[in-house]
Structure 1
Amino acid sequence: MTERTPQPYMTFPAVDGHTLEHNPLGDPAVRHVPVFLPPSYDGRKRFGVIFLLSGFAGTGSSFLNYRFGRPTLPEQMAGLMRQGLMDEALIVMPDCMTMYGGSQYVDSTATGPYETYLTEELVPFIDRHFATLPHAANRAVAGKSSGGFAALRLAMRHPGLFGAAACHSGDMNFELSYRSSFPAAARILEKYNGSLSAFFTAWQQADKKPSSEFPLIDMMAMAACYSPDPSQTPPENMRLPFSPETCDLVEDVWQEWLGFDPLTMIEEEHYAEALRNLRLLYLDCGSFDEYHLQFGHRKFSARARELDIPHRYEEFPDTHGDTSYRYSVSLPLLAGVVSSEPG
């Protein structure tokens, strides 16, 4: 068996997340954040930064996982940089995991202030401790699935923080992508007599998490992010957007969810303007995405054209999972932007 070499140019600083202290789920406030350092990094020359956000049920360390026949993301990027196919840049892989499987990188009274942690603590931490170009023009945010949703949302909400963004198969068009999962989640909840507590206890205790019950843990996590209920204690501290008995929409809760949908957000002029001012906006999606995200991405791209938002949208013949090879398309584009002076 071929012996594998250590991950290239990696460091793992401990970041004290003061905003995460006393979060409702008791999740750690101190996070070890993987940071990829470009091959020529010596602490003197300054580089642009890409914040790379993992999808639901993943975290920064997930990008370091080895799979047979495929390089890890750091190996992938180091190879491109050594071959001169990608400008050198730092790549920061945040840890925003929660007990529910993810934070969607939003501030929530049910999980914690993860958007604030990322934008007001982690970004300044990286600029203080590494040789970066500490300007929005030299900082990008990217991700896939929940991470892609977050990259797009953060670019809209923090125009003075990020100068470029890439969204791979990001959550959007909630009417199609999320609503189609409501019946499956309701059927699972019925097995536990409608009790989220009973379900979550069984989920936590299971040595092997049943994949057939993933739709409900996913729905719980999304509800905790989009429609938290601070009057309840975990794991009941959220409001589901549907009636467990009939699967009918709970309209006021659903409207809260739609407020997070990038297709809703782009209709607000200040968010559209933030996207117009990006140096690069890149989106892609698999044409056979199981969550129907390709349709939302097509709608988003069409609306962006109508609103005169420069962007690049690509589709590729694949599904939702196992598409990390697409980072070889987006990250070199982002690195080229964050490594240069604004034109």
Structure 2
Amino acid sequence: MNPRFTAKPSIATIMAPGITLAGNPLDDPHERYVQVYLPPSYDGERRFPVIYLLSGFASTGRSFMNYSFGRPTVPEMVEKLITEGAMQECLIVMPDCMTRYGGSQYVDSDATGRYESYLVEELIPFIDHSFATLPRREGRAIAGKSSGGFGALRLAMKHPDCFSAAACHSGDMYFELCYRPNFPAAARILERYRGSVSAFLETYESALKKPGNEFPLLDIIAMSAAYSPDRNKPAPENMRLPFDTYTCEIIEPVWKEWLTFDPLSMIEHKKYRDALRSLSLLYLDCGSFDEYNLQYGHRIFSAKAKKYGIAHRYEEFPDSHTDTSYRYGVSLPELSNVISA
């Protein structure tokens, strides 16, 4: 532990059964270890509210425990905020929704598994059964960054019966700018493997050091598996890419499927606007120099929310997309306040 951060947070690591994920198309483990931060006063009797914290692409809940020189882990940060009186005591649940492709986007997909259902239908009841929680919507919030921010915002829109507050840090949105610019890079990499996703993954997975310059293709494969799965093909070819691998032309029917997941498209539906209006807190932020152009999507989303009368708080900060976990120090206290009330 960094000597500057003397708090010793209590972390419970528990195996969640994952019945929902059994038999998933990628043969990924269905039983998952889940990390749960327990506040200082937790004694198993007094009930506490819960924040579900979703990790970004290529990460799991364990990533929140990663040590970084000069900076606390997320549980250390939370412990310090609580000790100083800046944050209300609550549990923080850090799920594992990893897949062979690097992530699930927290959606139900025929290509990866039912990760949305796993979270809202199985994990939440499991946590409420295993810990002394406030087992109701008013005592529950969801947050995350990048893919986790996308997941938090989308799940808040789709499951207002589960969450009463949400925070989206640099979440994926405005797919035209955050994903589409990477299509040419992904196509060039795939061409080296003669258009074979299987050949690429075999090489990528067997490499002791993963080639960083091939990450764009892995990212697009994972997004395709989440947004445009193909149940008629076996893994790992069980997705439809949104572009022609030779010309890089957009395949419009597939791209339209992707756009239905874009928060900028979702907010145009009344049922999702109503879900957002029902939140006690909707918090969004993004770095002004985000490499994936997410600041533009967040600005548009905030403008749409304002137009539709959806109360929210949006902040930009002078940073990029990476290494921004310190922003949880802004959102988590706010979330804890509203779900503790």
TM-score (structure 2 length as normaliser): 0.98
How many Å separate the matches in 1 of 2:126 and 2:2? 38
Identity across aligned pairs (percent)?
A: 65
2-structure distance, mates of 1:268, 1:57: 30
Partner of 1:71: 72
Residues in 2 aligned to 1:235 and 1:114: alpha-carbon distance in whole angstroms = 18
Structure-1 residue corresponding to 2:81: 80
Letter in 2 for 1:81: I
SS in structure 2 of the partner of residue 33 of structure 1: strand
Cα offsets for 1:163-214 (capped at 9, x unmatched): 0000000000001111000000001011111111111110011110001000
Equivalents in 2 of 1:89, 1:291: separation in Å? 32
Aligned partner of 1:270 in structure 2 is 271
Amino acid at match of 1:41: Y
2:281–2:335 Cα contact (<8 Å) kept: yes
TM-score, normalised by the number of residues in structure 1: 0.97
Residue 23 of structure 2 corresponds to which residue in structure 1? 22
Report SS of the residue matched to 1:34.
strand
CA–CA separation in structure 2 for the residues paired with 1:2 and 1:247? 47
Is 2:116 the counterpart of 1:100?
no
CA distance in structure 2 between the aligned counterparts of 1:266 and 1:194, rounded to whole angstroms: 35
The verdict on how the C-alpha distance between 1:2 and 1:295 changes in structure 2, with shifts beyond 3 A counting, is closer
> How far apart, in 1, do the equivalents of 2:178 and 2:218 lie?
16
**SS of equivalent residue, structure 1 residue 322:** coil
- Superposed, 1:1-343 pairs within 5 Å as 8-340=9-341
In structure 1, stretches of 5+ residues that fail to align are none
Separation in 1 of the partners of 2:50 and 2:132? 10
Q: Report how many aligned residue pairs link the two structures.
A: 340
C-alpha separation in 2, matches of 1:10 and 1:253: 42
SS of 1:74's equivalent in the other structure is helix
Contact 2:7–2:76 under 8 Å retained in 1: no
In 2: Cα distance, 1:175 partner to 1:52 partner: 26
Encode CA deviations 1:112-171: one digit per residue, 9 max, x unaligned: 000000000000011111111111011000000000000000000001110000000000
- Contact map agreement 2:7 2:79 (CA 8 A) in 1: no
Deviations 1:1-27 (A, max 9, x none): 977979511001110000110101011
After TM superposition, where is structure 1 displaced by more than 6 Å over at least 4 residues in a row? 1-6
**CA distance, structure 2, for counterparts of residue 77 and residue 130 of structure 1:** 19
Q: Distance in 1 between matches of 2:192 and 2:173?
A: 29
Query: Are the aligned partners of 2:2 and 2:72 in contact in 1 as well (CA < 8 Å)?
Result: no
Distance 1:2 1:273, change over 3 A: closer
CA-to-partner distance for each residue in 1:24-61, whole Å, 9 max, x for gaps?
10111111100000011111111110000000000000
- 1:234-264 CA distance string (max 9 Å, x none): 1100000000111100000000000000000
Task: Give the stretch that moved more between structures: 295-304 or 190-199.
Answer: 190-199
SS of 1:200's equivalent in the other structure is helix
**Does the 8 Å contact 2:242/2:255 carry over to 1?**
yes
RMSD over aligned CA atoms reads 1.3
Q: Distance in 2 between matches of 1:313 and 1:208?
A: 38
User: For residue 173 of structure 2, what is the amino acid of its counterpart?
Assistant: M
SS of structure 2 residue aligned to 1:326 = helix
Letter in 1 for 2:189: I
| SS of corresponding position for 2:41 | coil
